Amino acid sequence: MMHPDPIIERVMETWMPRFLGGGIAYYDIQTVLSRIRDWDDWGPEWMKMAEMHEELAEEAWKKGHRISAVQAFQTASAYYHTACFVYVRDLKIHNRGLKKSVECHDRVLEYMEPKVEKIKIPFEGTNILGLFSTPRGGGPFPVLIVLPGLDSTKETRHQRKGPYLRRGLAVLSLEGPGQGEVSQWLKIRPDYEVAASATIDYLETRPDVDPTRIGIFGMSMGGYYAPRSAAFEPRIKACVGNCGAYNYAECFIVDSRPIVSREAFLHYSGCKTEEEAFEFAQQISLEGVAERITCPLLILHGKLDPLVPWEQGKRIVDEASSVDKRFVLYEDGIHSTSNVGYRSNPLTADWLAEKLGGTLS
């Protein structure tokens, strides 16, 4: 046990490997856990920790230690993200964490290695956002659209671009409605395919990518968005979902789902009550939709996932019409298979590289 407060304990059980994998130092997690009494303290204490990292970044920057500063600002961004991650009880803190996370990241955007470009994608009279990087060498490259989940962001997803770039794929980490920075002006949409289509329209304007080789990959709630998009958008040539829902309403009421995850869903969907959220969640469904998927499909799931039962993932594959489809279940995997990432990540990257004409060697 890591914490006497049951909510915090549940959060740590569910996401400890995710925090560590996202660049949060173990010692800082211990320090924050020792300072917080209950969940209400989560946001404020992580804000303090993030501020410490931002100061380190600022100090390095002022001294002209640019390499260190660029690294430290990205670290600070990841910590600010942790402050607002599934923490919506104090919306001022949530929003400030989100803004600061973006601010720290964007401040050093032009110095990142490999290069990262921030892009605006026109969407229904407004816009959605993405981070874009290309592999070394000359294009046009196949491109992978990476989707965050309920409460991850384009910044956290783009941190993991390296393995895809190395395999010859360009990466566009997207924030559609309800996600990250974009969540400030657009709420969750069950018909995420409209965001994917807008993104592909944008990609078709870029000479450095090959629009006939577009893949899509989402984790957690992104594991619903990705197959949903593949069902309606024929320009997607390969789709990976990791621990996504077939029907979000069915997951919403699972006992083992942390209460804070439900709270975050209310916030990002703009619902006022649990009842309203449950109603809305019924629209987040692949019923009658999954059968429209025809492209190569890979669904990964952890059998111990407490948020989205593994049968949800299996149902996506069962109902898809794809000739080339595969369901991989990790007996000991938790949500997003983050504890066995050394199994699921290389598999995902290699599978996508193979389908999209990247390289495995």
Partner 1 sequence: MKHPDPLIQETLDVWMPRFLNGGIHYYDIQKATGRMKSWDDWGPEWTKMAEMHEALAEEAWQAGRRISSVQAFQTAARYYHMAYFIYTRDPEVHDRGLRKMLECYDRILGYMEPSVEKVTIPFEDTFFVGLFSRPKTESPPPVVIFIPGLDSTKEGRHNARGTYMRRGMAVLSIDAPGQGETSLRLKIRPDYEKSVGAAIDYLESRADVDVDRVGINGASLGGYYAPRAAAFEKRVIACVGNCGPFDWSEVFEIIPQVTREAYIHYAGAKSREEAFEQSKTMTLKGAAKNITCPLLIVHGKQDPLIPWEQGKRIVDEASSQDKQFILFDEGNHGCNNIQYKAGPLVADWLAMQLGGTVS
Contact residues for partner 1 (CB under 8 A)?
1-2, 16-17, 20, 25-27, 31, 53, 56, 60, 64-68, 71-72, 75, 113, 163, 166-167, 332, 339-343, 346, 349-350, 359-361
Question: Minimal CA–CA distance to 215: which of 201, 202, 227, 205?
Answer: 227
Q: Shortest approach of partner 1 to residue 346 CB, angstroms?
A: 4
Q: Could you give the 3-state DSSP secondary structure of residue 186?
A: coil
SS3 134: coil
The CB-of-67 to partner 1 minimum distance in angstroms stands at: 6
The question of whether 220 is a catalytic residue gets the answer yes
Tell me the CB-side half-sphere exposure of residue 189, using CA atoms within 13 A: 19
Q: How far apart are CA 130 and CA 329, in angstroms?
A: 30
Helix axes 26-35, 6-21, angle to 10 degrees: 160
Minimum separation from the CB atom of position 170 to partner 1 (A): 17
Neighbours of 340 (CB within 10 A): 18
List 77, 220, 229, 336, catalytic entry: 220
Dihedral Cα 173, 176, 178, 179, nearest 10 deg: 10
Contact in structure between 80 and 155 (CB atoms under 8 Å): no
| CB nearer to partner 1: pick between 316 and 340 | 340
How many Å apart are CA 47 and CA 42, to the nearest integer? 9
Least distance from C-beta 221 to partner 1, angstroms? Answer: 22
**In whole angstroms, how close is the CB of 291 to partner 1 at the nearest point?**
31
**Phi and psi at residue 46, to the nearest 5°:** -70, -30
Residue with Cβ nearer partner 1 (292 or 343): 343
Q: Which is nearer to partner 1, 31 or 247 (CB)?
A: 31
Catalogue the active-site residues: 220
